[in-house]
């Protein structure tokens, strides 16, 4: 155990957890990484490519090394950073990316083969023989290089989403963020403050700095209490703002229950879409390291992280208390770690400071003008080589902290291609002036990382940015704080590792990229930072190079002899840290994946045992099987024949319905439809064909004129929303001078098709005093009436099946009862419910076009409806439909009968003259719809055939090369049933 004193852990709340099967103890407030360190565990994983032993390197979300598989079963999650995994009782974690025990990874042989895995290795090493790549190399590399593994089980957890609106979003709850939030909160602004940590305070929780001469936690607690008391402030811990989007929209993930063993009743995570008028980026800074030979051993970590573990988690970085700790630094910051460790009673060897004039702030040894040039220790650091002026000496240590300076977390500020700018004093990139509108950086994220300056900057940022939206905020009394010494020199890496074969200095730990790889990229002319990244994979791992990008730039700058900003600028894309796909879905799974529209007779159809089919968002009855029927065809054939011989009932509520009113309703519809609608008599219905403006057929439907200035228009089910939108476009954008009012009434009316020779008889049993005779209510008539003793209804005498047929509409809540009444009243007439399959067979038998024929590539002429495009008026698409090319189109909608009646030609088959070669040049058209016709006892089809209207009786071939099928078809009229139309006028 190497637990120190103090810290922000609750020693009264011990927690047990297992790591690689062994049980350990930690405390509430620990992370998995801090608890492991406190148990003397340094080795936490194997590296990506070379399977080098690795330990924890950082103390936050930037961690490149300590990634584990967390939990078991379906909740197993790979690549979880131990540094941000809150400890809970019963936590189970395993290391990943090794074969055999962690201490003896058999894949470590890769390390010996490292010369083969240099930068760009997969572009040039595994090139030949060519077939080996797909068959051997790639699968092998993938197997060897993968990090964690997935459970392959469905995700058992729920996810959620939500929307927040605020005046000020504060990203980060450290010194600057809390000062900004408090300033804004007191001013009455709506504030959201989000921090990825589970505790507020940021770096203040990890430093020994005093505020108001007391522990910083006192001030944090008082600010937290005040913010919680303000109704206009929302504090969101465990929440990562991962991206900035246009116009002040921010994406954030709240980890609601990742800190619990199982979520229980809670969701696991929530995706928040935050609309903020202004935002303060107070995301802090990330420390960088200085590559040196063999710098990747467990026990080598960022000095600031070492300090954080000691101060916040009371965890020492060494395996045994007796092991000494050294710090390697290029500035004053490393000395703070030494001071804090000493204060905690840890054994400190001293500070190795690259500066000749290294200061000393306390009672420890300073190795001035010195560097670290080598390390020892197979599974953990045992010794370091300190070199001064070429003279080297080995020292036994159990841990080494590296302090290379701090990089402001500019990530969000670069999400709109905002370019960070180089600051020569800070030796770092800071957010530039052209970042996302409304987002201003503050504190360490703006390069103002001293405690006093961060507090002041956060307050000032809030006042400044709120004033832009008319909110006056006043200065607040900030706690007394100071800025620690932060002198540093530009020292980026220890020289001597660019070419030597044995000595490797890691830059990017997670993707195993070394200084030598960068040198190789330079040699191969991959010097622009974008090329460097892709050639070496630097910064492309899950940590996105948070600890490595700037060091790599510095090495490349040295190689090219340019300055760092001349060499390149690293910008970042969302997300800031990895976001689970589950939460991006926002919980839209199962019934929430897509809303389902149910027809008014849905429950009734369900009770009848109907099979349903999804039609867009609708669930429609597909067919109604009866006992004894063994195939769907048997059912559908029965339903079709019932319509042709008796009467069938089908819920057609899904057809779009638009109420069109106004003095100019008729003129408006004249312009929407290719045929005349203004001349329609009141009480009559007309079939209408709508074109797109390019002249192709778009949608068909009916217009029923209920009164002089009131039409009820129907559209196809699929286009209901689009046609309504198009009508609004025409009304608002083309002809606003017309007096017309539009509103959808699709849901308001339950509409039932009553089709078949006995439909009139059936309807006569439910109407109240209404003359249904052919004379009084002929084909294409419509009327309002009452049925079933007073229920208001609309009746349309229209037919999709070719039979005598009606559609009756009643207020939707009566649809279910009406269907039942029709079934009861029609029992002796053979009333039969039918679904979409029979509906389709019926309309194919009648030769009516539907979606397959109105597919956007066809014209009115092709459909045999060329005469419908009125030449007497303008309408949408009319001019373009008369284009030469459109007029020259000779394919026509015709019917087809299989020569061998039991052989089906599939829709989509292409048509050829019998005996010709089948290719593009001989293509004569295609089949659009095909089905078995119980009426004709054989397979029939509809399709577009070159000059089809003049080829009746010809035998042609339908080819379906995908399935190697050819079927001989006879060309016939598309009207298989009652071509004269006598039945529907009966």
Q: Please give the residues from 668 up to 727 whose contact with other proteins meets the rule CB under 8 A.
A: 693-694, 725
Shortest gap between Cβ of 804 and other proteins (angstroms)?
A: 24
The correct pick among 134, 737, 775, 919 for binding other proteins (CB under 8 A) is 737
Cβ proximity to other proteins: between 489 and 706 the closer is 706
Distance CA 815, CA 793 (A): 11
Rule CB under 8 A: is residue 883 a binding residue for other proteins? yes
Cα–Cα dist 912/922, whole Å:
7
Comparing CB distances to other proteins, the nearer of 818 and 957 is 818
d(CA 705, CA 467): 59
Tell whether residue 975 is a contact of other proteins (CB under 8 A).
no
Examine residue 135 and tell whether it contacts other proteins (CB under 8 A): no
If you count them, how many residues does the chain have?
986
User: Binding to other proteins by residue 160, rule CB under 8 A?
Assistant: yes
Residue placing its CB nearer to other proteins in the complex, 131 or 888: 888
Q: Between 104 and 165, whose beta carbon lies closer to other proteins?
A: 165
| Residue 824 lies near other proteins (rule: CB under 8 A) | no
In the structure encoding, which two tokens stand for residue 630, read together?
């063994």
Stretch that binds other proteins, among 119-127, 550-558, 796-804, 873-881 (CB under 8 A): 873-881
Return the number of other C-beta atoms located less than 10 Å from residue 153's C-beta. 10
Nearer to other proteins, 418 or 701 (CB): 418
- Using CB under 8 A as the binding rule, whether residue 573 contacts other proteins is answered as no
Positions in 259-288 near other proteins (CB under 8 A):
265-267, 273, 275
Q: Which two tokens stand for residue 336?
A: 């703070």
Closer by beta carbon to other proteins, 185 or else 334: 185
- Helix %, strand %, coil % of the chain (to 5): 25, 30, 45
The nearer residue to other proteins, 253 or 641, going by C-beta atoms, is 253
Q: Give the residue from 259, 260, 220, 284 showing the smallest Cα distance to 59.
A: 284
Asked if residue 401 lies in contact with residue 364, where contact means CB atoms within 8 angstroms, the answer is no
Q: Which of 127, 260, 879, 955 binds other proteins (CB under 8 A)?
A: 879
Of 393, 467, 679, 741, the one binding other proteins (CB under 8 A) is: 741
Q: What is the separation of C-alpha 39 from the centre of its chain, rounded to a whole number of angstroms?
A: 39
Q: Does 887 bind other proteins (CB under 8 A)?
A: no
- C-alpha gyration radius of the chain: 38
| Alpha-carbon separation of residue 296 from 310, 319, 491, 514, 558 (angstroms) | 21, 17, 19, 10, 22
Q: Tell which one of 747, 824, 828, 914 touches other proteins (CB under 8 A).
A: 747
List the one residue from 468, 874, 900, 914 that touches other proteins (CB under 8 A).
874
648 near 838, Cβ under 8 Å? yes
DSSP annotation of 498 = S
Which span (180-188, 403-411, 598-606, 859-867) binds other proteins, by CB under 8 A? 598-606
Q: Rounded distance, CA 463 to CA 471, Å?
A: 8
Q: Which is nearer to other proteins, 341 or 730 (CB)?
A: 730
Among residues 118, 146, 144, the alpha carbon closest in space to that of 513 is found at 118
Binding to other proteins by residue 363, rule CB under 8 A?
no
Residues 398-457 that bind other proteins (CB under 8 A): 437
From 740-748, 853-861, 907-915, 965-973, span contacting other proteins (CB under 8 A) = 740-748
The footprint of other proteins on residues 115-134 (CB under 8 A) is none
Cis-peptide, bond into residue 13, ω within 30° of zero: no
Which residue stretches of 755-828 are H helix?
Answer: 759-764, 815-825
Q: Could you say whether residue 156 binds other proteins (CB under 8 A)?
A: no
Q: Which is nearer to other proteins, 221 or 734 (CB)?
A: 734
- Residue 659 binding other proteins, by CB under 8 A: yes
CA gap 301, 373 in Å, rounded:
16
Q: Do the beta carbons of residue 180 and residue 280 sit within 8 Å?
A: yes
- Could you give phi then psi for residue 368, rounded to 5 degrees? -75, 150
Question: Distance of CA 806 to CAs 759, 809, 871, Å?
Answer: 7, 10, 31
Using CB under 8 A, pick the residue from 156, 609, 736, 961 that binds other proteins: 736
| Residue placing its CB nearer to other proteins in the complex, 728 or 828 | 728
Does 890 interact with other proteins (rule: CB under 8 A)?
A: no
Q: Which one among 663, 887, 952, 986 touches other proteins, defined by CB under 8 A?
A: 663
Distance (Å, whole) CA 6 – CA 217: 12
Contact 302, 289 (CB under 8 A): yes
Note if the bond before 774 is cis, omega within 30 degrees. Answer: no
812 is a site residue for other proteins (CB under 8 A): yes
In whole angstroms, what is the distance from residue 469 CA to residue 375 CA?
Answer: 56
Compute the distance between CA of residue 946 and CA of residue 296 in angstroms, rounded to an integer. Answer: 73
Residue 51 touches other proteins, criterion: CB under 8 A = no
* CA 336 – CA 316 distance, rounded (Å): 15
Using CB under 8 A, pick the residue from 40, 148, 248, 251 that binds other proteins. Answer: 248
- Comparing C-alpha atoms, which of 593, 575, 582, 60 is closest to residue 269? 582
Q: Given the complex with other proteins, which of 589 and 973 has the nearer CB atom?
A: 589
Pick 268 or 546: Cβ nearer other proteins: 268
CB nearer to other proteins: give 7 or 666.
666
Which residues within the stretch 612-641 sit at the binding site for other proteins (CB under 8 A)?
A: 617-618
- List 163's β-bridge partners, or say none: 273
Give yes or no for residue 870 binding other proteins (CB under 8 A).
no
Q: To the nearest whole angstrom, how small is the minimum distance from the Cβ of residue 810 to other proteins?
A: 8
Site for other proteins in 578-597 (CB under 8 A): 588, 591-592, 594-597
User: Which residue, 500 or 827, is less far from other proteins as judged by CB?
Assistant: 827
CB-wise, 122 or 245, nearer to other proteins?
Answer: 245
- Are 899 and 970 within 8 A, CB to CB? yes
Q: Is 734 in the site for other proteins (CB under 8 A)?
A: yes
Read off the tokens for 454. Answer: 């961060």
Q: Which of residues 756-795 bind other proteins (CB under 8 A)?
A: 786-792
* Binding residue (CB under 8 A) for other proteins from 729, 857, 900, 955: 729
**Minimum CB–partner distance for residue 665 and other proteins (Å):** 9
The answer to the question of residue 880 lying near other proteins (CB under 8 A) is yes
Alpha helices, DSSP H, located in 586-719: 602-607, 632-645, 665-672
What are the φ and ψ backbone dihedral angles of 752, each rounded to 5 degrees?
A: -120, 130
User: By rule CB under 8 A, what count of residues binds other proteins?
Assistant: 79
List, as one string, the DSSP characters of 25-74: EEEET-BHHHHHHHTT--EEEE-TTT--EEE---SSTT-SS-EEEESSGG
| Residue closer to other proteins (CB basis): 388 or 873 | 873
Is residue 732 within the footprint of other proteins (CB under 8 A)?
yes
Subset of 72-111 contacting other proteins (CB under 8 A): none
| Rounded least distance, CB 483 to other proteins, Å | 37
Between 234 and 493, whose beta carbon lies closer to other proteins?
234
Binding of other proteins by 13 (CB under 8 A): no
Where helices occur in 230-381 by DSSP H, the ranges are: 303-313, 333-343
CA distances from 429 to 330, 414, 571, 712, 726 (A): 18, 11, 10, 65, 51
Torsion angles phi and psi, residue 340, rounded to 5: -65, -40
Q: In angstroms, what is the minimal distance from the CB of 881 to other proteins?
A: 10
Segment interacting with other proteins, rule: CB under 8 A, options 156-164, 508-516, 894-902, 956-964: 156-164
Each residue 224-243 as x (binds other proteins by CB under 8 A) or -, in order, gives --------------------
Give least dist CB 255 to other proteins, A.
16
Binding to other proteins by residue 217, rule CB under 8 A?
no
Distances (CA, A) of 945 to 864, 905, 919: 12, 14, 15
């Amino acid at each position: 155990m190497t637990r120190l004193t103090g810290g922000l852990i609750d020693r009264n709340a011990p927690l047990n957890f297992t790591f690689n099967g062994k049980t350990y103890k930690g405390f509430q407030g620990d992370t998995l990484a801090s608890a492991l360190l406190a148990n003397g565990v340094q080795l936490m994983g194997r590296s990506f490519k070379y399977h080098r032993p690795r330990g924890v390197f950082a103390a936050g979300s930037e961690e490149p090394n300590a990634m584990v598989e967390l939990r078991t079963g379906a909740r197993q999650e790979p690549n979880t950073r131990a540094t941000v995994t809150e400890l809970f009782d019963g936590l189970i974690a395993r290391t990943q990316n090794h074969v055999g025990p962690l201490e003896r990874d058999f894949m470590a042989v890769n390390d010996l083969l490292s010369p083969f895995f240099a930068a760009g290795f997969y572009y040039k090493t595994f090139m030949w023989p060519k077939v080996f790549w797909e068959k051997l190399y790639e699968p092998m590399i993938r197997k060897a290089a993968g990090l964690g593994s997935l459970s392959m089980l469905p995700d058992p957890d729920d996810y959620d989403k939500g929307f927040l609106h605020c005046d000020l979003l504060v990203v980060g709850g450290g010194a600057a963020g809390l000062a900004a939030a408090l300033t804004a909160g007191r001013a009455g602004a709506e504030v959201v403050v989000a921090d990825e940590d589970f505790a507020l305070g940021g770096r203040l929780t990890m430093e020994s700095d005093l505020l108001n001469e007391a522990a910083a936690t006192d001030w944090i607690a008082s600010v937290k209490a005040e913010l919680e008391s303000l109704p206009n402030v929302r504090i969101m811990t465990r929440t990562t703002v991962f991206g900035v989007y246009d116009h002040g929209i921010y994406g954030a993930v709240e980890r609601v229950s990742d800190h619990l063993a199982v979520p229980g009743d809670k969701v696991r995570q929530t995706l928040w879409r935050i609309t903020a008028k202004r935002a303060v980026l107070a995301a802090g800074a990330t420390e960088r390291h200085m590559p040196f030979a063999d710098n990747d051993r467990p026990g080598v970590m960022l000095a600031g992280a070492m300090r954080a573990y000691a101060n916040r988690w009371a965890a020492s970085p060494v395996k045994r208390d007796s092991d000494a700790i050294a710090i390697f630094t290029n500035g004053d910051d490393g000395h703070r770690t030494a001071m804090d460790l000493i204060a905690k009673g840890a054994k400190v060897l001293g500070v190795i400071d690259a500066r000749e004039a290294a200061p000393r702030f306390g009672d420890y040894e300073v190795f001035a003008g010195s560097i670290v040039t080598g390390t020892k220790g197979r599974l953990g650091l045992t010794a370091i080589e300190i070199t001064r002026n070429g003279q080297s000496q080995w020292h036994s240590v159990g841990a080494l902290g590296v302090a290379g300076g701090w990089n402001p977390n500019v990530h969000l500020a670069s999400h709109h291609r905002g370019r960070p700018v180089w600051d020569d004093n800070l030796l770092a990139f800071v957010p530039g002036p052209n970042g996302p509108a409304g987002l201003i950086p503050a504190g360490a994220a703006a390069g103002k990382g001293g405690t006093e300056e961060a507090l002041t900057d956060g307050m000032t940022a809030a006042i400044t940015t709120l004033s832009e939206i008319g909110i006056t905020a006043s200065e607040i009394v900030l706690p007394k704080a100071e800025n620690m010494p932060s002198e540093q020199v530009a020292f980026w890496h220890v020289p001597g590792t660019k070419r030597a074969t044995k000595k490797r200095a890691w830059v990017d730990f997670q993707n195993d990229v070394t200084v030598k790889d960068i040198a190789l990229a330079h040699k191969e002319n991959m010097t622009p930072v974008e090329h460097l990244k892709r050639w070496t994979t630097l910064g492309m791992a899950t940590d996105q190079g948070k600890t490595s990008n700037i060091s790599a730039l510095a090495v490349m700058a040295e190689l090219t002899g340019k300055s760092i900003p001349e060499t390149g600028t690293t910008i970042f894309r969302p997300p800031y840290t990895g976001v689970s796909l589950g939460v991006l879905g926002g919980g839209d799974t199962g019934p929430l994946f897509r809303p389902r529209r149910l027809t008014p007779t849905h429950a009734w159809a369900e009770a009848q045992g109907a099979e349903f089919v999804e039609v867009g968002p609708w669930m429609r009855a597909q067919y109604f099987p009866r006992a004894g029927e063994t195939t769907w065809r048997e059912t559908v054939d029965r339903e079709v024949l019932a319509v042709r011989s008796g009467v069938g009932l089908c819920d057609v509520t899904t057809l779009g319905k638009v109420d069109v009113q106004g003095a100019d309703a008729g003129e408006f519809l004249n312009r929407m439809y290719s045929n005349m609608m203004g001349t329609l008599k009141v009480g009559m219905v007309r079939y209408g064909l709508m074109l797109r403006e390019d002249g192709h057929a778009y949608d068909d439907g009916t217009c029923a004129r209920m009164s002089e200035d009131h039409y009820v228009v129907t559209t196809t089910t699929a286009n209901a929303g689009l046609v309504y939108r198009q009508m609004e476009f025409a009304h608002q954008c083309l002809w606003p001078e017309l007096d017309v009012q539009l509103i959808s009434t699709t849901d308001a009316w339950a509409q039932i098709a009553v089709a078949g020779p006995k439909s009139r008889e059936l309807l006569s049993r439910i109407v109240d005093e209404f003359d249904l005779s052919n004379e009084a209510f002929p084909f294409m008539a419509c009327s309002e009436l009452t049925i079933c003793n007073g229920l208001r209804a609309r009746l349309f005498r229209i037919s999709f099946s070719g039979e005598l047929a009606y559609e009756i509409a009643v207020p939707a809540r009566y649809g279910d009862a009406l269907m039942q009444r029709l079934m009861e009243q029609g029992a002796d007439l053979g009333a039969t419910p039918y679904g979409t399959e029979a509906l389709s067979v019926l309309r194919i038998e009648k030769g009516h076009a539907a979606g397959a024929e109105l597919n956007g590539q066809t014209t009115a002429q092709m459909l045999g409806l060329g005469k419908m495009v009125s030449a007497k008026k303008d309408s949408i698409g009319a001019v373009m439909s008369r284009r030469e090319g459109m007029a020259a189109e000779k394919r026509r909608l015709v019917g087809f009968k299989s020569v061998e009646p039991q052989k089906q030609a599939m829709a989509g088959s292409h048509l050829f003259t019998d005996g010709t070669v089948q290719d593009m040049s001989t293509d004569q058209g295609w089949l659009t719809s095909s089905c078995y016709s119980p009426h004709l006892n054989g397979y029939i089809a509809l399709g577009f055939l070159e000059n089809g209207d003049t080829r009746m009786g010809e035998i042609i071939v339908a080819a379906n090369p995908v399935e190697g099928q050819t079927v001989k078809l006879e060309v016939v009229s598309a009207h298989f049933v009652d071509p004269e139309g006598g039945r529907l006028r009966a």
